[in-house]
Each structure stands twice: as C-alpha cells, then as structure tokens.
Structure 1
C-alpha cells in the first residue's frame, strides 16, 4: 500500500460539509466521503467532540487521520471519522461551546473574525492510502486501536459491505430506527453500535453472524431479517403480555425458534412468572422467561450456600458423603440442597448437605 502525507486546514475540510443521513456524510467540497460502508454512526459524546474543537482552537496537535484514495481521485475516511465530524459540525453551527477563553456558549458564527480565522486555518495531517480494497480494510483494522474502537459487528459490516448491510443498517442501526421503535423494551445495547443487528443475526442463524452475512452479502435488502425480528417480538408480546423491565435483554430469538410452534397458555405462564418474580432464591429474574418454557434451572442463577453453611454441614457429616458413604476432603465436596428448590427447598443451613463431586453432579431433582 502506498501512503502519502497530506496537510489541509479545517476550513478546507469543512467546505461543503453535508450530513444526508442514510445518503451519506461528505466534506472537502464533496470530495471526502466521511462515512463509507465500513464506518459507523457518529458516536462521540458532547465532551469528546468539544475536546476535538478545543484542541484545534488552541493549536494543539490532533492525532493523524487516514484517508483512502479512490479511483476517481476522491477520498474516503479510513480513520478519523469522529474527529472530522466534530470539527465540521462546529463550523456548520450544529452546537455551541466555550472557546478561546470565553466562558459563554458560542456557536461558530458568534466567534470574532480573528477567532474564526484561527480555527479555520488550523492544519490537519492526513495520510493518503492507495491500494487494493482488501489492503484498505486490513489497514483500517490495524489502525483502529485507539479512541472509540469498532465492535465486532462494525468490522463485519466492513468486510461484508454491500446492499444487504446498507439495508440492515436502516432497520437495525440508526437512532430511533424501526427495530428500536418496535423492540427497544426487549433489547439490550444500542442500535448505533450495532448491538441490535448483531443480536438478531445471532438469533436467526444459531449464533453464526459471519456465516449469515457472507451468505446474504449480495441480497438486495435485509427484509427477511426484519420480518423475522418483527415476528419474534410479536411472539414475545403474545406469550408474555404483561411487560416487566427484566424482560429487556432476554435472548428472545432462541426461545422463539424453539417454542414458536407450540400452543402456549399465556395466562398460565403469567401466573408462574408472577410467583417466581417474588422468589428470593432466584438471583437472575430475567432467566424466568426461559425457565417457564424449558424448565432449565440454570437460567435462574439460584442462591448458593455460603462458605459458613457448607463448613457447618461438612463438620456435621464428619466429611462423609451421605450418598456414597465415603470420606472426602472439604475441597472435594459441594454444597447441595437436601430438598431441591423445585420442591420448595430453601438455601438455609438446615437444608444443606455436602456431597462428593460425583454424587452432586448426578443427583438431579430426586
């Protein structure tokens, strides 16, 4: 890859700045694509973008940026999107901040003539990178080691960029996107960091995100994934109509995949859920929804016996496992409920016994 240093001013960079949402973000009089397919949405917070502008206003150096040179002579940002947008947004009048020692909030147009000139004349160093598309992407991965790092899903969006990714991002990766509007109460993470998109691909393809994206890379749109997501959320609402905050972030897709064809009594499920919510033995309340469907107690993170309770039981048993009658060291045994939780047993001292590893593992709910 050929790399050439290049220098320009903030004024030159911000010329013709335009954020056209899904249509793209451009600057440098239309010659710089700030948000190519592998880039993410703007994620700097207020403090971070102000720090960029303040750095430039004081003449302090910003980290070098990297642009890829296109065949037509235009450029696209490989690294530096957040810094570029921060500077352009301020010059474009999108936010105000204290600047040049003045305490009041000032938009760019409110600066003095000399202050404007100082900011617009600030010089930015850019490395222009020329090479094959695969080299460009590799370089992008290598230099993405500071600042707001890419998530795995953002990198996969880069590798499999195309019509499918562009369509999927419209559904799942925008602020207030359709997926957020429909299912934000049931999803964890944020759309703009690709959390929604990654989760739903995992749901539909048994955890294999890259495999699904590779298979559908050239599809004209992601309508199949969007329809699947809508179906999952509607199934959740029908199966558990009483919403609780602990439903947020449950892995709903796998539950839908497994139980979607079963006839489920939503009223009966609600009775069980409302009872289990009040059970102090259950440490992970969000696991209740999977438990009432498949009966696996591992979803619940049930309370375990304290070290003191286990020591007392071990001394009481004199180190003898009641299941096999053999003696074991304390470290070779595990605390166990005499009466299982599913049969009303509580995590209290009188319900604690110490079993050897083998018998504890094979006990089950007897």
Structure 2
C-alpha cells in the first residue's frame, strides 16, 4: 500500500467547491469527494467551525487529514470532513467569524482585507493520501481512527467500499428521516447517520440464519452495482413479515435481528393469533428472564424446536437447592446414590416447557450424570 504526504493550500482545496445537499459535497477542483451522497450530515457547532478558522488565522497547524486515492485523479475524504466543510463554507461566505487577525467585528471571508484573505487561502493543510487494496485501506483506517473521534465500524467500511451501490444504499438507510427510519425505526437500534441501520441490514442480507457473507464481502460483491434497490426491497419484506406475524408492538421488539429471523422462518406458516397468545403468556411468566428472547422462542417452538435457553429461565437459588439437598439426605433423586452438594444440580421435576415453575415444590437434586441424561431426552 502506498501512503504519501502532501501539503495542500486552502485555495486549492476550495477550488471547485460545491455543496449539492443530498447529492454530496465536492472540492479540490471537483476531484475530492468531501461528503458522498447521503453520508453523515454536518455535525460541527458554530463555535467549532470558528475555532478551525481562528486556528488558521493564527498560523497554528490543524490536525492531519486523510484522503483515499480512488484512481483517475479522484479522491475520497476519509478523516477531516468537518474541518474541510468548515473551511470551504467560510471561504464560500456562508458564515462569519469575530476576532480574526485581531478584528473585533464579525466578518465573512469576502469582507476581510485582501491581504488577510490571501493569508487564509495560502494556509497549508497536511494530508496523507492512501492508495491500496480495500483490505489494506480498511486496516489503515482502523489504525488512524484510534487517535481521533472514533468512527463506527460501518463508517470505516464506507470509506473503503466506495461506489454507486453504497451511495444508493445510503439514500435509503443513512440519512436523518430516511426511508428506513420511517419504515422500521421501531425495530432498529442506533441512528441512520452513524450508519447503524445500514450495517444492521447488510448483516442480515442473505438466505440463512448465518449469512453466507460477511458485511465486507457483501459490500465488495455489490460495490460497483448501479443501484441498491435489492437491499431496500429486502428490508421492506422483513418489516412487512414482522408486522404481519406480530401486529402488536412491544418495546422488546426493538433491536432484535429480525432479518435473521426472516431468513430462517419466513418459509413456514404461522398463525399470528396463536403467536400473540403465546407471547402474552410468556411475557407474564416470572420465570422468563429474557423477555426479548420470546419472539425467537415462539418462532422456533411452532416448527417443533423447544429452546428454553432463548428465554434465560430463572434458575433455582442456592438456598432452595440446599434445602432440597438436605431433605434428600444428599442422595440423587434419580439413581439414589450419595453425592456432596457440589456434585449435584437443581432440576425441575415438571419441566418448565410443560408448565413447571421454578419453585421449591418443583425442585429435585440430581447428580450431574443423571441431570445430563435427563436433559438429553
């Protein structure tokens, strides 16, 4: 991988600057993609913007910026977006600053004396430009990201797998108030602008419980596709399926891997009324420690797989187990042999799945071997 250091004047950075809103921001003669379409929105506060310009006016160095060489003389800005936008929008006369060069009043760039405009325009930025494979870039971006404001894993991937597919996917999943937010914010955690929605849906994208591809492999495969409509249509199918099976929304549904459930279960036929009855019953069961696991449990149970482990069923307390151990005189309730307390385990006489409760009268102490054999049946 090739990493080169360049010193780029502000006037050259500002050349060709265009802020096209949702369609992105370019600079450096139109060759630098400052903010790709539908990427994270501008987050600097006014005082942070002014601090950037004040730093330049005093001749102090700004932090290093990082660009990726996309070939054909074009670049993608990886780290330094907020500083770059602050600089270009000031030179574009979009806001004013007070105190620059000792001038008390608040002035925009065009209102500064010509010599002071030139001083800002001649200010040199320190830029490292990376040219390498996608995997090399991803590793490099992870490394440089340690010291600065931390980017999310998906923001790092976005810096590597640049292309029309990603730009189109961001249109659906990566903007405040985007289509994915309107459709599925009740089911997704995080925020669109930090790429949480995009990361989650790509991780679901596949035909099985464990997707055949990693997120990186999926993005690499589709990198040069013209559109991401298949990803958006897949997400729509997932949400439609969820709302059909579970029309009554509960807070426990937020953040579950619904796409993974869809991949595994959507080929089966379920009765939403019966599912709701089972969900209500389990929500009211004090023995169920993990309420969010109820949805996966009922989907599995309806196809013949009983998996109480999904629910974190409340365990017997040490006091309860010692009480029954004493009553049994240290003998296993199954094989009748004597064992120390540490060699025995608490067991539901009537299994929880058949209505047994985690209470003293439903507890027996078994040796480990007997308990394992019972569990395997």
TM-score of the aligned structures, taking structure 1 as reference length: 0.77
Distance 1:55 1:154, change over 3 A: closer
Pair 1:292 & 2:292 matched:
no
Alignment match, 2:205: 204
Which of 210, 221, 240 is matched with 1:215 structurally? 221
Distance in 2 between the 1:337 and 1:83 partners? 62
Residue in 2 aligned with 1:301? 312
In 2 relative to 1, CA 8–309 (structure 1 residues): closer, same or farther, beyond 3 Å? farther
CA–CA distance in 1 between the matches of 2:354 and 2:190?
Answer: 36
- Alignment partners' CA distance in 2, 1:279 and 1:108: 66
Which residue is 1:248 aligned to? 254
CA distance in 2, matches of 1:264, 1:227: 22
Alpha carbons 1:91, 1:108 under 8 Å: kept = no
Structure-1 residue corresponding to 2:273? 267
> In the alignment, what sits opposite 2:175?
174
1:25 is matched with 25
Residue matched to 1:193: 194
Write the distance in 1 (CA, Å) between the matches of 2:276 and 2:61: 60
Look up the match of 2:151.
150
Q: Distance in 2 between matches of 1:220 and 1:150?
A: 26
Structure-2 residue corresponding to 1:103 = none
Which sections of structure 1, spanning at least 5 residues, go unmatched?
A: 101-105
Aligned partner of 1:340 in structure 2 is: 351
Aligned to 1:322: 333
Q: In the alignment, which residue of structure 1 is the partner of 2:304?
A: none
Secondary structure of 2:370 counterpart: helix
Alpha carbons of structure 1 residues 268 and 196: separation in structure 2 relative to 1, 3 Å: same
Q: Secondary structure at the match of 1:3?
A: strand
| Among candidates 351, 354, 357, match of residue 362 of structure 2 | 351
Quote the Cα distance in structure 2 between the aligned partners of 1:284 and 1:75: 48
Contact 1:56/1:62 (8 A) holds in 2: no
Deviations 1:20-66 (A, max 9, x none): 244221245645321359x95247475xx744643653656542222
**Residues 193-245 of structure 1: CA distance to partner in whole angstroms, max 9, x if unpaired?**
33222322332323333333343333322222221211111111111111222
Deviation at 1:186, TM superposition (A): 1.4
Please, which of 280, 283, 296 is the counterpart of residue 277 of structure 1? 283
- 2:54 pairs with 1:57: yes
How far did residue 70 of structure 1 move? 6.7
Q: Deviations over 1:146-187 (max 9, x none)?
A: 334333333433443322222222222222222221111112
Alpha-carbon shift at residue 91 of structure 1 (Å): 6.9
Structure 1 residues 303 and 84: alpha-carbon distance in aligned structure 2, compared to 1, 3 A threshold: farther
- Superposed CA offset, 1:305-332 (max 9, x none): 3333334444444443323334444444
Task: Tell me what 1:67 maps to.
Answer: 67
Q: Which one is further off, 336-345 or 312-321?
A: 312-321
| Residues 137 and 160, structure 2, Cα contact 8 Å, conserved in 1 | no
Write the distance in 1 (CA, Å) between the matches of 2:286 and 2:96. Answer: 50
> Structure 2 stretches of 5 or more lacking a match?
100-104, 302-306
Please tell me whether the aligned partners of residues 90 and 107 of structure 1 are also in contact (alpha carbons under 8 angstroms): no
Aligned to 1:232: 238
- Kindly report structure 1 stretches of 4+ aligned residues shifted beyond 6 Å: 90-97
Secondary structure, aligned partner of 2:35: coil
Q: TM-score scaled to structure 2, two decimals?
A: 0.76
